Amino acid sequence: MERQILAIMPPEIALGFELAGIPSRSIHNPAELRSTLRDVLQDTRYGIVLLHESLYNELDARMQNRVLHSVIPLFMLLNPEEAGERNVQAYVEALIKDSVGYHIRVRKDRD
């Protein structure tokens, strides 16, 4: 089974992911966030879930723990605003290290 990527973002950011071809769920309030996460944690279609860091910070400790320890789907906490302020490659490498547990260098393929 091929797994999908899903972005869970605030409304003002979700559209950008959709335009980039990544399905997203736009979150408007904490109750909607909890409901969406419960659904996603039980849905085997998703392999990676991109979760905005500000939304993660709104969760209670129990749900934060579930998100951090989930393997399928693997959650990656994003802060796109922060990525724009620094080297994007370094930001992506840090995300991978935090999610996977070790450093993987990201490089462009040579033509």
Q: Where are the domains of the chain?
A: 4-86
pLDDT tens figures, 37-50: 999 999 989 998 99
Report the chain's C-alpha Rg in angstroms: 14
Strand order in the sheet with 4-9: 24-26, 4-9, 46-52, 74-78
User: What architecture does CATH give domain 4-86?
Assistant: 3-Layer(aba) Sandwich (3.40)
Between residues 91 and 41, the one the model is more confident about: 41
Average pLDDT of 48-69?
Answer: 94
Give the torsion sign (CA, 15, 16, 19, 25).
negative
Amino acid sitting at position 36: T
Q: Is the pTM here over 0.85, yes or no?
A: no
How many CB atoms within 10 Å of residue 23? 13
